[in-house]
Amino acid sequence: MGIRHINDMLCRDFYKSRLVCHLSIDSTPIEAREKPVPAAEKPRTKLKRGRKKRGSRESDDLEARREEERRMEKLEEAGPIDEYLSTLNQRCAITGKKNSKGHMQWRIGYKAQSCCR
């Protein structure tokens, strides 16, 4: 009796009354021959280093960013799909990715994502 046989027996016994599902998620870049839409530049303000004082503008900005992240997480979990899809980027953009050697590779185009069961 090898280790694989013992493992198979244990898995069959453990999963005999359970349903096992698998979800595959993948994304692929789609290159486009059009100009990317420039991102709206946000005015950069110099932030002070260290802990922010309560009620200061910087701590309010930080709290607003965290609240927006929480709102997006809630939309992902249980919100209406139309509202969530409206927040996704649907225009040509420049995207970057680090390859296995640590160099950045830049692409102009779209990004398609798919989920399969």
- Band of pLDDT at residue 79, cut at 50, 70 and 90: low
Report whether pLDDT(113) > 80: no
Mean pLDDT of the chain: 79
Report whether pLDDT(103) > 90: yes
The pLDDT of residue 84: 66
> For the chain, what are the domain ranges?
56-112
Percentage of residues of the chain with pLDDT beyond 90 = 4
Give tens-digit pLDDT for 12-55. 888 777 777 777 778 777 888 888 888 777 777 776 777 777 77
The Cα-based distances of 92 to 42, 46, 52, 67, 104 in angstroms read 19, 30, 37, 28, 19
